[in-house]
Amino acid sequence: MSVVARTLLGPGPTNPYPEATAALAQPLLGHLDPAFLALLDETCDRLRAVYRTDNRRTLPLSATGSAGMEAAFVNTVGPGDVVVVGVNGLFGVRMCDVAARCGAEVVRVDAIWGHPLDVDAVLSAHPAPKLIAAVHAETSTGIRNDVAALAAGKGDALFLADCVTSLAGIELAVDDWGIDLAYSGTQKCIGVAPGLSPFTINDRAWERRIERPQSWYLDLGMLGGYVGEAASSGGGRTYHHTAPTAMVASLHAGLGRVLEEGLDSVIERHAATGAALQDGLQAMGLELFAAQGHRLPELTTVRVPAGVDSLAVRGELLARYNIEIGAGAGESAATVWRIGLMGYNARPDIVTLILGALGEILRRS
């Protein structure tokens, strides 16, 4: 079977940085090898740098971004706890589901998909929630929510931000903004294959955590013995589970590339390529889906032109150009395309490629 090579411009995964791919194929290390533990510690340091946090409990969870979401809720929310969730896309909806499975009383505050959350509506939805949660970069709609304002107004509540598509893609400052917990995924703007969830939790949230969460696998107290706390205290390591060492080595390498370029520069690169794509799409006469002023540069949503078969265009992009873009999410499945320019793919040549390919197909159709 011949190897298929794609340019991955969907909502993630993106093509990893070459350094991240190379690290996957390096000789495998055991999860208790001193050489691996040093690499893991440095990976946690690098995650602190991209999250802009000093949280000592900052670590890659051994599962994908959605498990990061689950870890955030199971470690902080128990039966009867009130959780306010801002919902303007698929991942806000998912948060409500996950919180409810922890027994939480979920207060859901909806906004129109493709528009940002109403900060005041979220903050005034309940007088004393234990947790307020929102998605920073809604991958399903291409919208940036103002999590800085939400965190600033949280009062006594904890504030949780889903940073799956925002980490290392747009401005994010966990400590300065007052975000208490955040999780991400490796396959977006960090530019690594999917499989890990970078996670951070501050002392404020830690002190209010559930002592024995319903999940053993995602129990941060037990994980701390292996990674987070030992890393800063210099103490011994307690085996919890077998860490996915190849993926951690790859994350280490991808973050190394990001920090070598410089986080500000990487974010600026995402901004520039996203703007170029969005300008180019509009110059072709296409209409963007996400509300102006709240658009993500790393994930662009664009309306499928009237009379054009969304699926056929995506199929031709894949078959003829080996380019993957995403369908819309939920109600927009057939009427919106999602085009990601993340990590390694946030480059001018990729903008030229996708605008050229899409233009050729639309002119023919």
The only residue of 94, 144, 257, 294 in contact with a second copy, by rule CB under 8 A: 94
Least distance in Å: CB of 355 to a second copy? Answer: 20
Q: Is 320 in the site for a second copy (CB under 8 A)?
A: no
62 belongs to the binding site for a second copy (CB under 8 A)? yes
Q: How far is CA 3 from the centre of its chain?
A: 28
Q: Looking at 58-66, 224-232, 282-290, 349-357, which segment touches a second copy (CB under 8 A)? A: 58-66
- Contact call for residue 145 and a second copy (CB under 8 A): no
* Alpha helices (H) along 124-244: 147-152, 174-177, 203-207, 220-226, 228-233
Q: In one letter, which amino acid is 153?
A: G
Nearest alpha-carbon partner for 61 in 53, 70, 52:
70
Size of residue set near a second copy by CB under 8 A: 58
Query: One-letter amino acid identity for 78?
Result: G
According to the binding rule CB under 8 A, does residue 27 interact with a second copy?
A: yes
Query: Is residue 204 at the binding interface for a second copy, with CB under 8 A as the rule?
Result: no
**Between residues 10 and 129, which has the closer beta carbon with respect to a second copy?**
10
**Residue 210: CB minimum distance to a second copy, A:** 11
> Are the beta carbons of 329 and 141 closer than 8 angstroms?
yes
247 counts as binding a second copy under rule CB under 8 A:
yes
Locate tokens 């966990």: which residue? 174
Nearest one of 264, 284, 294, 287 to 360, comparing CA atoms? 284
Q: Note whether 3 binds a second copy by CB under 8 A.
A: yes
> DSSP letters along 206-226, please?
HHTS-SS-S-STT-HHHHHHH
Which structure tokens are listed for 248? Answer: 């951690």
Q: Is residue 102 part of the contact set for a second copy (CB under 8 A)?
A: yes
Q: Could you tell me whether strands 197-201 and 323-327 are parallel, antiparallel, or unpaired per DSSP bridges? A: unpaired
Q: Residue 26 Cβ, how far from a second copy at the closest point, in Å?
A: 6
22 versus 112: smaller Cβ distance to a second copy: 22
Beta bridge partners of 109: 86
By CB under 8 A, name the one of 152, 275, 318, 353 that touches a second copy: 318
| Backbone dihedral angles phi then psi of residue 89, each to the nearest 5 degrees | 170, 180
Among 49, 66, 108, 360, binds a second copy (CB under 8 A): 66
Binding mask 346-365 for a second copy (x = CB under 8 A): --------------------
Determine the interface stretch with a second copy among 15-23, 266-274, 277-285, 297-305 (rule: CB under 8 A): 15-23
Residue 131 near residue 77 (C-beta atoms within 8 A): yes
236 binds a second copy (CB under 8 A): no
Q: Which two tokens stand for residue 180?
A: 């208490």
CA distances from 211 to 128, 129, 205, 207, 293 (A): 21, 19, 12, 10, 42
Residues 44, 237: Cα–Cα separation, whole Å: 15
Q: Counting contacts by CB under 8 A, is residue 299 touching a second copy?
A: no
Q: 303 and 287 in contact (C-beta within 8 Å)?
A: yes
Shortest approach of a second copy to residue 270 CB, angstroms? 19
Q: With respect to a second copy, which residue has the nearer C-beta, 65 or 116?
A: 65
Q: Which residues bind to a second copy, rule: CB under 8 A?
A: 3-6, 8, 10, 12-13, 15-16, 21-22, 24-35, 62-67, 69-70, 94, 97-98, 101-102, 185, 187, 193-195, 212-217, 240-247, 318, 324
